[in-house]
Every structure is written in C-alpha cells, then in structure tokens.
Chain A
Amino acid sequence: GENVEQHPSTLSVQEGDSAVIKCTYSDSASNYFPWYKQELGKGPQLIIDIRSNVGEKKDQRIAVTLNKTAKHFSLHITETQPEDSAVYFCAASVNQAGTALIFGKGTTLSVSS
C-alpha cells in the first residue's frame, strides 16, 4: 500500500525566512497530493493541493511542487509569519476520487519573531 514519508519532523525559522517541507510517496498510482495545516486543538485544514498532471501550484505565499518521476512533493512557504506556526501534514491519495488519503507524520513549524 501507499507509504508517505515527511521531513523534517520539526522546523524552526525566523519571521520573514522561507520554510520547505518535503514528502515522498511510494505508490505511483497516487494522483492527488494535498497539504493540511493543523493548529493546536483543531482539526486539519486544507491549505493547498496538487494533482499528478501539474508540476507546481502557487497560492500567495504558499507553493507546492511535484516530481512524479522521483515520487516526491514539497511545500514552500515564503515570508513566514508567526501565524504560520502549526503542524503541517502532506498526504497522498489511495483511491481515484482522491478522497482516501494517507498522511505523512507531520512537521511542526515554529516561526519566531
């Protein structure tokens, strides 16, 4: 079955710096790769996603890149702010509809001002 590895497990940056989180997946049939942000005491929320027919997607300060050949994808956050501090999860789909997701173990991002 699908396996998703996520690195690093913790990441500390200064406000204004960039942050990069990387994930690899094992099943070449996976076709949907979302990123979720989880704040303390809350459920995860989708921040950006990418499909297998696209190499890069941007939404303001957030971007995701996908390398299908290498089976890895990355989250890039530029100009980080203290409110970006949270746990970030990558995921890969295991069904065609993209609704059954296998998650990575998470990255705790701390942005200090």
Chain B
Amino acid sequence: NAGVTQTPKFQVLKTGQSMTLQCAQDMNHEYMSWYRQDPGMGLRLIHYSVGAGITDQGEVPNGYNVSRSTTEDFPLRLLSAAPSQTSVYFCASSYGSGGEKLFFGSGTQLSVL
C-alpha cells in the first residue's frame, strides 16, 4: 500500500515555464488537496477536491490549476511559473464525508529561477 505518492521530489524551473506536479493515492479516498509550505507561513491550502469531477479553491489558488478526472489522481498545474511559487508542495488525501484524517505525501520541492 503506497499511500499518497508525489512526483517529482525535486524540480527546478525557469520563470515562465509550465509543469505539472503529480499526486496519486491508492486508498480510494474521495478527498484530495494541495498545500504549499513556505518558511514561517505554515501550510496554505491551494485547491481541493471532494470527489472526481469536483474541485474548489483554497486560500492561495492564483497561478495554479487542478482537475480531478479519476478518484486516484489529482495533478497540480503551474501554467507560467513565477519565483513566488518557489515552495515545498504537499498533496494530501482523506476518506472525506466525516473521515477527516489527512494523509500527506512526502512533498515536492520546487525552485523557480
């Protein structure tokens, strides 16, 4: 049972480049979310999804797109990377509908130059 798998673990981008951070879970969780973690800022919610085909914005959604075509996958897209998006990104999932414990992936460290 792999849990929540994030790829890649590390990524360096140039300003203006696009990329997709991948997140997959094998626990049949309905709920998935993306957070970014910056020094002294804690974890900030970017986007979340309560099921396939349903997504919603969190605290800091600007500059990021998401989609949820399957229960297992929840990719995060950066359309035009900016230095302000340099951060560690965590994907998390849970059963939802009252099963609130979040299972976090191991994170993706992204640097935008």
Contacts and interface: CB of A to CB of B under 8 A. Distances in A.
Interface of A: 1, 6, 9, 32, 34, 36, 41-46, 49, 89, 91, 93, 95, 97-106
B105 A43 contact: yes
B101 A101 contact: no
A101 B102 contact: yes
A106 B31 contact: no
7 contacts: A32-B100, A41-B106, A42-B107, A44-B90, A93-B100, A102-B45, A103-B45
Contact of B45 (A46, A97, A100): A100
A99 B48 contact: yes
A107 to B, nearest CB: 10
Given A89-B42, A105-B41, A34 B100 contact: yes
Contacts of A44: 43, 90, 102, 104
A97 B100 contact: yes
Most buried by B among A32, A41, A98: A98
B40 interface: yes
A106 B39 CA distance: 10
Contact of B43 (A32, A89, A95): A89
Interface stretch (B64-72, B76-84, B91-99): B91-99
Given A43-B106, A93-B100, A99 B31 contact: yes
Contacts of A45: 104
A59 B103 CA distance: 19
A99 B33 contact: yes
Interface in B51-69: 56, 58-59
A28 B42 CA distance: 21
A43 B42 contact: no
Contacts of A89: 42-43
Given A44-B90, A105-B42, A99 B104 contact: no
A101 B103 CA distance: 13
Given A99-B31, A100-B33, A102-B59, A42 B106 contact: yes
